[in-house]
Amino acid sequence: MRVGLFAVGRLKAGPEKDLAARYLDRFSKAGPAIGLELSRVTEVPESRASSADTRKREEAAQLEKSLPDASLLILLDERGKALDSEGFASLIGSFRDSGKRDLMIAIGGADGLDPALHGKADAVICLGKMTWPHQLVRILIAEQLYRAVTILSGHPYHRV
């Protein structure tokens, strides 16, 4: 299964970008052995519309344009379901085993994600009850993707 990340906003050069890249590189190297590969990271600029609702709609349209046909979609949203690392790995494993070829994980902009996307999503999850800057969310989801691969493959990186 090809796994892509969609993010509203761009990571600038610096430690956040380097750390996210490090975990995505680890995912890219370890994932193919268990049927997971990094397809791409799509970054789109934040909408400049005057209202939050319009910004979210415009950003959602960018996401929909970047979705491969018949792909699965995970939204990262503060109102989503909280999963532990093993639950996230299980979700990724079940999606991998579903027969679909592509999975996209979406990180919304500062205003969040358009509510219309929730009906199209296969899962809506959160990274805890705290609010995180988008740069850190990118690092956190990259690390959790790598951790999911290690859990699914029985590698000792994830210790309970």
- Give me the tens of pLDDT residue by residue for the chain, a chain 160 residues long: 999 999 999 999 999 999 999 999 999 999 999 999 999 999 999 999 999 999 999 999 999 999 999 999 999 998 899 999 999 999 999 999 999 999 999 999 989 999 999 999 999 999 998 888 889 999 999 999 999 999 999 988 887 6
DSSP string, the chain: -EEEEEEES-PPTTHHHHHHHHHHHHHHHHGGGGT-EEEEEEEEPPP--SSHHHHHHHHHHHHHHHSPTT-EEEEEEEEEEE--HHHHHHHHHHHHTTT-SEEEEEE-BTTB--HHHHTT-SEEEES-SS---HHHHHHHHHHHHHHHHHHHHT-TTS--
Q: What is the pTM of this model?
A: 0.94
CATH classification of 2-153, choosing from 3.40.630.10, 3.40.1280.10, 2.40.128.20, 3.90.199.10? 3.40.1280.10
Known binding positions for S-adenosyl-L-methionine = 76, 108, 127-132
Q: Which residues are annotated as a binding site?
A: 76, 108, 127-132
